[in-house]
Structure 1
Amino acid sequence: MERAELAEVVRSRIAQVVGVPVDEIGEGTDLRDEYEMDSLELMEIGTRLENTLGTRISADDLLEMRNVGHCIDLLHRRVQERV
């Protein structure tokens, strides 16, 4: 999966959980600061992404993500490792 395609998937799943249009979620978006997300909401995003991508995302990975772009980069590496 190309990074751009993965970015759309990630942004879409985040938008579903946050309840905002996808175009409001950019790579620089900090979910904790801008949407006051807690660990349970981050876990919900992680679960949706795991189900969509078929790859494991640890709780530690979710909690250390600084912004959406960091999330995309991490997942892109994981998806590429599977290929």
Structure 2
Amino acid sequence: MDVIEVRTKIKEIISNITSIPVDQIEDGASFRDDLDLDSLSLLEIGVDVDYAFKLGVPEERLQQLATVQDTVDLVLSHKAAQAVGA
């Protein structure tokens, strides 16, 4: 999975939870400030991203995500680590 596919999937997950159209979700968008998400929505996004990409990331780490790009970076770094460990 390349960076574009990861970014697109993450934006789709965010859109499904928030009803914000995918094309209105910017890469650098802050979940709290720009997208106005509450902690429950953030948790749901984190859990859905973790499940969709089969990451196995601790919940505490998911709660630290602040932007769309943070989430993309997390997925890519875990996927790279999984590939090395495979």
TM-based fold match above 0.5: yes
Give 2:64's aligned residue: 64
Query: What CA distance in whole angstroms lies between the structure 2 residues aligned with 1:48 and 1:70?
Result: 15
User: Is the 1:46–1:57 contact (alpha carbons within 8 Å) kept by the matching residues of 2?
Assistant: no
Runs ≥4 residues deviating over 6 A:
none
Alignment of 1:1-83 (within 5 A): 1-83=1-83
Give the TM-score, by structure 1 length.
0.87
User: Is the 2:13–2:45 contact (alpha carbons within 8 Å) kept by the matching residues of 1?
Assistant: yes
Unaligned ranges ≥5, structure 2: none
Unaligned ranges ≥5, structure 1: none
Higher relative helix content: 1
Give the TM-score, by structure 2 length.
0.84
| Offset, 1:28 | 0.9
Q: 1:2 to 1:10 in 2, by over 3 A?
A: same
Residue-pair matches, total? 83
Counterpart residue type for residue 41 of structure 2? E
| Offset, 1:35 | 2.5
Q: Deviations over 1:12-52 (max 9, x none)?
A: 10111111110111111111112321221111111211221
RMSD: 1.3
Identity %: 25
Counterpart residue type for residue 4 of structure 1? I
